[in-house]
Amino acid sequence: MGFKIEVNSILRSDEQYDLKVGEIYSFSKQGSRVFFDDIPVWLTDSNWLALAEISIVSQTRENNQLCGQFRVDYIYQGEEQQNITNMFIRMYGGLMDPYIYLLSSEAEYKQALASGQFVRDSLQTEGFIHASPKSQLSRVANKFYKKTEQPIIIELDKKLITSEVKWEPATGGLYPHIFGPINIDSVYKVIPIAPESSGDFSIDITAL
């Protein structure tokens, strides 16, 4: 289960660097996957704040740890920094969330409770069930669930889902696709939702 980035192009670190263009800095991170030569790398903090564009100068692997040095090529600031950060959160933020989210209805949920699993027609037509990262819930709800009676958000624990989950690109970012039935014991929480007076959903994801 999970999303594989074919080109390792983001270094996430909470190290407090005093970044200056052209300067060399040391880094270390968990995992043994190296950065590819001649591939631009972004430096962000653990919350996906875009800090800089960097080049890897050296790197070594040992005991599931990657250590090395990078050179700062460009530093993000102001509106540009916010725009790049928003892009990273939209594209990759869901990967770090321990939960993924399924928009549904009370009726469908009761049916799943009775059978012990969620099964949708898309398993036959597309091979997977569409789920959503937290950041895209309002967009998905407004596109597909405005006419749904008693709409709900079902919060699923990634670690408990028995079917394969792949993060794949779709409109607005990366989305979790579940390649099989969803076992009911992966449900962590069920949250009723309702559109505003305008008829649109505006889901407060900070409350999830």
Position 208 pLDDT exceeds 90: no
Rounded to whole angstroms, how far apart are CA atoms 182 and 129?
Answer: 8
Residue 147 CB partners (closer than 8 Å, separation 6+): none
Average pLDDT for 78-103: 89
Report helix, strand or coil for 30.
strand
Rounded to whole angstroms, how far apart are CA atoms 138 and 144?
Answer: 10
Q: How confident is the model at residue 1 (pLDDT cuts 50, 70, 90)?
A: very low
Among all chains, which residue has been given the structure tokens 């968990």? 30
Question: What is the pLDDT, as a whole number, of residue 98?
Answer: 93
Q: Is the pTM of this model over 0.95?
A: no
175 φ/ψ angles, rounded to the nearest 5 degrees: -125, 145
Which amino acid appears at position 111 of this protein? Q
Residue 63 CB partners (closer than 8 Å, separation 6+): none
Residue percentage of the chain with pLDDT more than 70: 95
Q: How far apart, in Å, are the Cα atoms of 170 and each of 53, 78, 133, 175, 183?
A: 26, 28, 12, 7, 24
Position 151 pLDDT exceeds 50: yes
Closest CA to 117 of 183, 163, 186: 183
**pLDDT digit string (tens) for 7-48?**
468 899 999 999 999 999 999 988 778 887 777 899 999 888
Q: Parse the chain into domains and list their residue ranges.
A: 10-95, 97-207
Question: What is the pLDDT, as a whole number, of residue 5?
Answer: 42
Tokens of 127: 């091979």
Superfamily of domain 10-95: Hypothetical PUA domain-like; domain 1 (2.40.240.20)
How much is the mean pLDDT over the chain?
91
**pLDDT digit string (tens) for 123-140?**
999 999 999 999 899 999
Residue 82 CB partners (closer than 8 Å, separation 6+): none
Assign domain 97-207 to its CATH architecture.
Alpha-Beta Barrel (3.20)
Per the CB < 8 A criterion, the answer to whether 151 and 104 are in contact is yes
Which amino acid appears at position 89 of this protein? I
Q: Do domains 10-95 and 97-207 have the same CATH topology?
A: no
β 65-75/99-105 pair status = unpaired
